[in-house]
Amino acid sequence: MSASADPDRDPTPTTSAAASVTAPAAPRVLGLGVVGAGFIAESHALAAAAHPGVRLASVYDRAAGAAGALAGRYGASIAPSLEALLADPAVDVVVLGTPNDTHRELALQTAAAGKHLLLEKPLTLTATDAAEVVLAFQQAETVLLVGHTHRHSDYARAVKAAIARGAIGEPRSMRLTIAGGWIWGNWGAWVLDPVRSGGHAFHNGVHLYDLARWWLDSEIESVYTLGQRVTAGALQIDDALTTTLTTKAGSVAVCEISRGERPKNTSIFEIVIHGSRGSLVRRWNSDGTVLLADDGCGPVPAPGFSPFLRQLDVLHGAVTGGCEVFPSPADAVHAIAVAEAASASADSGEIVPVVDPPPAPAHPSAAKTQGAGQ
Amino acid sequence: MSGTVLLAGTGTARFRQNHQRYMYLPAVKHLIDEGLPGSPTGVSGVFEPSSDPALQERAGYLAQTSGSRVIDTIDLTGVAAVIACPDADAEAAGAGWGTELLQAAADAGVPVLMDKPTLLPADVLRDWAKRFPTGVTAAHHPRFHPAITACRGRIATGGLGLLHAVHGELLVGSGDGPHPLGELRNLAVYALDVVQALCGYPLHGKGTAQIQPPGPDGTGESITISVRVDPDVVVTLLVGRSGDGDADDPSGIDQAAGQAGTSPAGARARAAATRALPGTGVPPVHRYRILGSHGQLLADLDSPVMDLYTDTLSRVPFGPSSLDCLVDGVIRRTAAQPDLASALAMADLITALETSNAEHRAVQF
C-alpha cells in the first residue's frame, strides 16, 4: 500500500495481463539505456521486459552497485560512464531518472548524442529550460517523451473517456488528491532540497496539473496555492500542497498533493469531476478492498494494466513509426509553467498567472515531438 | 420541553424554496412518529399572515398535511419550538413579522429554528443577531449530521491531533434549482458551517473563491473555495448544482435530508430518489476529508445507509437525518449553535468570498 501511495507510481498496481496492451508482433527492438538506477528505474525495466519491442541494454548510475544490481536482474550491461552509455550503439532510447536539477543538462546531452529520451518528470525546473530542451530534440530530430505516467493509467483514461462522451456534461470543477504519509527519507534526501527538487509542485504536483489540463481540455491560466509543512516546521519545502488551477475555459481544479498525512502508510487517492449534468466521483473505497491491519489501514489499490508499459509503447511507436508522443512536449512544458506559478503563489499567498515560454520555432521534425496524442 | 411545533412563515415566494414542506415538516413528523420522550406531539399551527396567494397556498398545504390550521397571529401556547421561514422580501421592506416573532419567542422562552439566515437582508440579520443573542438557532443542518457529529467529537477530544486541513464536496442535483441570491449564500454556507463546526471556532484567514455562473442550459453555479483558516488549516470546498431544478425534485440537499430518516415514508422517498438517473434525483455528493497531525477522518454524509440490490440498486437509510437531529436538538434545547451571531459571521465571510470572486484575488476574512 505504501508504494502505491507514491505519485511517481500509478496508484494501481499492475497485473500479469499487462502484455495484452503491447504493440503488434515482431516490432523493431529498441535498446534502452537507463540513467539513474533509483526506485523508478525498476518500473521502466519491468515495462521493457514486458514489451516485445524493447530490451534493457545498459544501465548507468554514479552508484555502481545500484547500476549493477539493476543490470544484473534484466541482463543488461553496465555503462562505466554517462558518456559511454550515450555513445553505445546498442542504446536507442535513454531513460532518465535522476534528481530533478540534473534533467536539463542530461537531456541536452542526450539530444546532442542523437538519442531518443524518456525523461522522468519534471521536464526541468523552469519553463524556459523546458522549452530549450524541447527545441533541442526538435533540432536533433529525435523523440522526447516526458514521463507523465498517470496519463497512461487505467483511471486517468477512464476519466477522460467519461468526460469525452458527455457523461457529466460540461466539466466545471474538479478535485484530484494524492495524499500519503512520509516516504522521503531523512534530512539529507535531495527531494527536501528546493534547489535540487524544485519543491513539491515540481516533484509531484506536475502529475496532477498535467491531468487537470488534460481532463478539462484547457490550458491553465492562473493558480492559487496553499502550502504547508506538516511533518516538520524546519522543512525547506512544503510537504502538503493544495493548488487551485483556473483554466482558460473557466473551469477550476483543486489539486492536492501531500506526503505529510498520518498514519504514515495512508493512501488517499481521490477524484471528483463536477459537470453541468452530473458528477464523476472516485469513492474512497472504489478499488473494492479496504485493509485494517496492525501495519496499515485504508483502501488497497486494485491491480490494473501497467501505465509504464503503455507509456513505453507510445515511445516505441514514436521512434519506430513516427507516431505522435503523448502527452506532447508542449503539454510537459505547460506543466512546468504551472508548477512555477504554483510555487510562486505558495510563496506570495496570492493568485499567480501562468506564463508559458514562447513556443519553439517550427521544425520539419515537429510531427515527431508535437501532437495531442490519444 | 415536550409540546408542539409552530411552523412560522412559508418562505419567500420568488426563492422557489419551500423548506417548511420539504424539510421541516417531514422532520417534525419523523420525530412525532418516533414518539421518544420529549419528542414533539404535533404541529400547533402554521403562522402565515401574508396575503400573497403563493404563500397562502403553501401554508394551506402545510396545515392540511399536519392536521393543524393556518393562523395570522402568533400563539405560543403549548409550543416547544418555533420553526421560522421568514419572507426575506417582506423583511427587507420592513413589512415582515420576524422581529415580532423572535421577541414573542424570547419573552416566552421558546427556542426558534431560523431557516438559512444568510438569505436574509444583511441589515435585518445584523439587527436580529444583536437583539436576540440567544434562543435562535440557524438551520445549518449538515453540521448536525450523525457523521459530522461523530467527527466533531473525535476532533474536540484531540483524536486527530491538531487539524491541518479540511477538504469537502457538496455537489447536488438539480434540486429546487439555482438560487437567485447565488449558491455561495444558499448552498456553500452549509459546507462552510460544517468546517466551522469541525474547527470549533469562528473562521478567519485568507483565501479565494471562484464562482462559475449558471450555464446557458439553466444549470447552477459551481463554486470552488480555497482558503487558509487561522492558525493554519487549509480548507478547500467544491460546491455546485447540476441541472436546472424543480421545486419538487428530491435531489437537493435539503429535500434529501427532509425525506431521509427512519420512518417508512422517508425511507421510501429516499430510495425512490436514489433510483433516479443523474440530474433527476440522485442524492448529493456530500463528504469531508479531515486531516490532522495524528490521523484523518473520512466522512460521507450519504449515510448511514444500506444498499438494496433488486432489479435496481437503491438505498435504505437508517437513523436520524441531519434535519431530524437539528429539529430534535432545538426542541430539547441542546442545539444552541450556530446562533444568529454565527450566521452573521458566516454572511460576512460569504461577502468576502464574493469579493474574491469578483476581483479575482485572495481576500482576508
CATH code at position B265:
3.30.360.10
Cα–Cα distance between B142 and B138 in angstroms, integer? 11
Q: How is domain A3-149 classified at the CATH fold level?
A: Rossmann fold (3.40.50)
Among candidates B228, B238, B291 on the partner chain, residue whose Cβ is nearest the Cβ of A175: B238
Q: Domain check: are B103 and B170 in the same one?
A: no
Q: How many domains does chain B have?
A: 2
Which positions in chain A touch B357 (Cβ < 8 Å)? none
Q: Which of A43, A301, A14, A313 has its CA nearest to residue A180?
A: A301
Q: Average pLDDT for residues A232-251, to the nearest whole number?
A: 97
Is pLDDT of B110 > 80? yes
Residue A27: pLDDT band with limits 50, 70, 90: low
- Domain harbouring B58, CATH code: 3.40.50.720
Q: Domain check: are B228 and B94 in the same one?
A: no
Domain locations in chain A?
3-149, 151-300
Is pLDDT of A60 > 70? yes
* Residue-wise pLDDT tens digits, A180-219: 999 999 999 999 999 999 999 999 999 999 999 999 999 9
Q: Domain check: are B116 and B155 in the same one?
A: no
The torsion angles phi and psi of A230, rounded to 5 degrees, stand at -80, -45
Which positions in chain B touch A351 (Cβ < 8 Å)? 208, 360-362
Q: Domain check: are B223 and B133 in the same one?
A: no
Name the one residue in this structure whose C-alpha cell is 548507468. A60
What residue numbers bound the domain in which B128 lies?
4-139+327-337
Per-residue pLDDT, B214: 84
Of A22 and B16, the structure prediction assigns the larger pLDDT to B16
Per-residue pLDDT, B175: 76
Q: Which range, of A78-92, A116-130, A276-290, B334-348, averages the lowest pLDDT? A: A276-290
Q: Domain check: are B40 and B11 in the same one?
A: yes
Which positions in chain B touch A260 (Cβ < 8 Å)? 164
* Residue-wise pLDDT tens digits, B263-311: 444 444 443 333 333 334 467 899 999 999 999 999 999 989 998 999 9
Q: Is position B342 within any domain?
A: no
Which positions in chain A touch B361 (Cβ < 8 Å)? 350-351
Q: Domain check: are B130 and B104 in the same one?
A: yes
Q: Domain check: are B210 and B299 in the same one?
A: yes
Record: contact A276-B360, CB cut-off 8 A = no
Cα–Cα distance between A175 and A177 in angstroms, integer? 6
Average pLDDT over all residues of chain A? 91
Per-residue pLDDT, B40: 96
3-class SS at A151?
A: helix
Q: Which of A341, A350, A294 has its CA nearest to residue A126?
A: A341
Per-residue pLDDT, A10: 54
Q: Domain check: are B120 and B203 in the same one?
A: no
Name the one residue in this structure whose C-alpha cell is 493548488. A243
Q: Average pLDDT for residues B240-249, to the nearest whole number?
A: 65
CATH number of A151-300: 3.30.360.10
Other Cβ atoms less than 10 A from the Cβ of A176: the count is: 25
Per-residue pLDDT, A362: 57
Q: Average pLDDT for residues A50-78, to the nearest whole number?
A: 97
* Residue-wise pLDDT tens digits, B117-155: 999 999 999 999 999 999 999 999 999 999 999 999 999
Cα–Cα distance between B113 and B9 in angstroms, integer? 12
Among candidates A168, A244, A262 on the partner chain, residue whose Cβ is nearest the Cβ of B226: A244
Q: Domain check: are B135 and B147 in the same one?
A: no
Q: Domain check: are B248 and B276 in the same one?
A: yes
Residue B188: pLDDT band with limits 50, 70, 90: very high
Cα–Cα distance between B350 and B203 in angstroms, integer? 11
Q: Domain check: are B132 and B225 in the same one?
A: no
Q: Domain check: are B168 and B40 in the same one?
A: no
Record: contact A224-B164, CB cut-off 8 A = no
Per-residue pLDDT, B176: 75
